[in-house]
A = this chain, B = another copy of it.
Amino acid sequence: MKAVLLAAGKGERLHPITETRPKPLVPILDKPLLLWHVENLQRVADELYVVVRSQDKEMVSSLLNGYNVHVIEQKDGIGGTATAFSSLPTMEDFILVYGDVFYNPSLLQKLANFDNAIVGKEVNNPSEFGVLSINDSFLLSIIEKPENPPSRLINAGIYKLSKQIFYYVDKISPSSRGEMEFTDVVNTAVKDGLKMEVIKYDDFWIDIGKPWHVIEANRLALERIETRIDGEIENNVIIKGKVVIEKGAVVKSGTYIEGPVYIGKNSVIGPHSYLREGTVMGSGTKAGASVEIKGSVIMEGTKVPHLSYVGDSVICEDVNLGAGTLIANLRFDENDVKMSIKGKMETSGRKKLGTIIGGHARTGINVTILPGVKIGSYARIYPGAIVNRDVQKGEFFKPWP
């Protein structure tokens, strides 16, 4: 069986995270989401096709060097779905997965037994997804972001498809965004009589569409780790709960860890750091003296060296936080924190949410960052500044108006 991964999303809603990396390279426990997909799919498929944007091809290919994967460049004007179908061998069954979802791969084994199937997941906010209209256990249609969803069961973005589906590909017109949508193919096929089983799935699942989903996807992965310590731990270190400490990492004396926590290879933690539940330190990161980090994803090479508090935040690669940089993660009114997504303020649905800082940014010492603020990649924040609005890519934010 084949497998195809649709990984050509632009990821603009994930800015500033995706200002410096393709969306498929968002890390979960310090490993790009794309690798999780590839490793998942290799369990059930003998050949993998990954559809990516032209500009991402080189980076993705390099990442997949050594893996048996076809990296396919999305063709201009036809979109990822059409590109995938034009590349796949037409005589075989295949599994198709959206590149943005993170899920339990044990699902795939079960899915492989069906001819045509779509995975459905119950969620609390179905209106934000494609909702499944079903009859018995069969799909009637996928309704995109309905105001009044017929159920809480949504399209998880994971399909098993037979070669029959190819018949419908040519029948579809491009959507309003000028691309063939895969859900249109499915809806057309089902309407035409193709029997598509709906597999209800109730294990972990997330669609990584907005910045805080990176925290949540990492949290899902963290909750499934088993303790493994391959790094070095000095005296007087307290570890509670489950932790992974990778090779080459050093946890210095006086550090206090409340798992689940992941510490990537060659990281330096401490002395006197306090890593709390939900923290993921990428490889080559540093959490220094009197630094507290909670519920946050710190990407590779980033340093939080002195006297900082980082809560419920994403700090991308190669960032340096000046001494005493503090991040607020709770509003005074304790309402859900809002964040600007593609220029529009959206609620995160989270009472606690800190900041999202893009790659290669630098904050000066004693910087104050308010909840829900985004700081662009390569930005510079002047020492002592109070960051109370989004900072653009490369902007130099100063404390005085």
Contacts from A to B (Cβ < 8 Å): 234-236, 238, 252-254, 256, 271-272, 274, 288-290, 292, 306-307, 309, 322-324, 326-328, 332, 362, 364-366, 368, 370, 380, 383-384, 386, 388, 399
Question: What residues on B are CB-neighbors of A362 within 8 Å?
Answer: 332
Measured between alpha carbons, how far is A52 from B238 in the docked complex, in Å? 51
Contact call B323/A306, Cβ cutoff below 8 A: no
Q: A238-B271, A272-B254, A274-B271 given as contacts; is B386 within 8 A of A386 (CB)?
A: no
**Minimum CB distance partner of A309 in chain B:** B323
Question: What residues on B are CB-neighbors of A274 within 8 Å?
Answer: 271-272, 289-290
Q: A328-B365, A368-B366, A386-B384 given as contacts; is B309 within 8 A of A309 (CB)?
A: no
Contact call B292/A306, Cβ cutoff below 8 A: yes
Contact call B256/A271, Cβ cutoff below 8 A: yes
Tell me if A's interface is mostly helix, strand, loop or mixed: loop
Measured between alpha carbons, how far is A119 from B384 in the docked complex, in Å? 48
Contact call A365/B327, Cβ cutoff below 8 A: yes
**Minimum CB distance partner of A271 in chain B:** B256
Q: How far is the CB of A196 from chain B (nearest CB, A)?
A: 51
Question: What residues on B are CB-neighbors of A307 within 8 Å?
Answer: 290, 292, 307, 309, 324, 326
Contact call A254/B256, Cβ cutoff below 8 A: yes
Question: What residues on B are CB-neighbors of A332 within 8 Å?
Answer: 362, 364, 380
Question: What residues on B are CB-neighbors of A384 within 8 Å?
Answer: 368, 386
Question: What residues on B are CB-neighbors of A272 within 8 Å?
Answer: 254, 256, 272, 274, 290
Q: How far is the CB of A235 from chain B (nearest CB, A)?
A: 7
